[in-house]
Every structure is written in structure tokens, then in C-alpha cells.
């Protein structure tokens, strides 16, 4: 599987990743790091506690990491939570809506990890 095929499989934006990371070998090197990255786990824990500061911090970190990798759907979902919990701003989502976003992130993140594992094992 090529890097571009991986991105197609995981619903990533290969061209966005290429603009940031530049070459396929570098993209491959960075995308496999997601397998050991603790960022999503922090968001999951924050979602269980519904701690506003923890949700903001974890969603913001996941947004940045996924944007850099061209994982635009994950970045967009994380951004919605980031903005809802941004300090000093009024919240617009209910806890139920936040939990739905977190479920969407979990599902897409799981699909992403599955694809990246297959890519890393080849």
C-alpha cells in the first residue's frame, strides 16, 4: 500500500499532508507515530469526566496533531470540541452533543489506526 492509498483508506487528505510534511517517506514516518501517540487517550479520558479544561486541552492537541498529518475529518471534529470549550467562550453544544462528537472521533480514529497498522505491517 502506498502512502496515498493509505490516505484514501483512512479518509485523510493526502495533499494536505504533503503540503506540511512534503515527501511520502516523511509522511510514512510520521503517520505511524499515531499508533503510540497518547493524545486520543487523553481526549477519551476527558470525555469520560466531561472536565471542560481537560476537554479543551485534549481536543486542541488532537486537532493540531491530526491537522499536521492531513487527517482533516478528525481535525475538524476535534476543532468543534476545542471551540466549544475554548476558555472565555460561551458553550453552544450540550453534553450529549459533545458525547456524539466524541463517538464520531472514536470511530474515525479507530478506522485510522486500523489503516495505519496495516500500512506499518507491510
Which residue reads 469526566 in cell numbers?
49
What pLDDT is recorded for position 10? Answer: 95
Are 78 and 66 in contact by the 8 Å Cβ rule? The answer is yes
Torsion angle in degrees (nearest 10) through CA of 39, 40, 44, 46: 30
What pLDDT is recorded for position 32? Answer: 97
Domain interval for residue 80:
3-121
Q: pLDDT tens digit string along 34-57?
A: 999 999 999 999 999 999 999 999
What pLDDT is recorded for position 84? Answer: 96
Q: Please list the ranges in the chain whose pLDDT falls under 50.
A: none
Residue 7: give its domain's CATH number: 1.20.120.160
> How many domains are there within the chain?
1
What pLDDT is recorded for position 26? Answer: 96
Backbone angles phi, psi at 13, to 5 degrees: -105, 95
Amino acid at each position: 500500500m502506498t502512502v496515498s492509498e493509505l490516505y484514501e483508506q483512512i479518509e485523510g487528505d493526502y495533499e494536505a499532508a504533503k503540503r506540511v510534511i512534503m515527501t511520502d517517506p516523511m509522511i510514512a514516518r510520521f503517520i505511524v507515530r499515531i499508533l503510540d501517540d497518547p493524545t486520543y487517550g487523553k481526549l477519551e479520558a476527558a470525555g469520560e469526566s466531561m472536565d471542560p479544561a481537560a476537554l479543551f486541552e485534549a481536543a486542541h492537541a488532537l486537532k493540531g496533531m491530526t491537522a499536521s498529518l492531513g487527517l482533516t475529518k478528525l481535525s475538524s471534529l476535534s476543532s468543534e470540541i476545542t471551540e466549544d470549550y475554548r476558555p472565555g467562550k460561551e458553550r453552544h453544544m450540550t453534553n450529549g452533543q459533545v458525547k456524539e462528537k466524541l463517538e464520531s472521533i472514536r470511530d474515525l480514529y479507530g478506522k485510522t489506526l486500523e489503516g495505519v497498522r496495516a500500512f506499518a505491517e507491510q
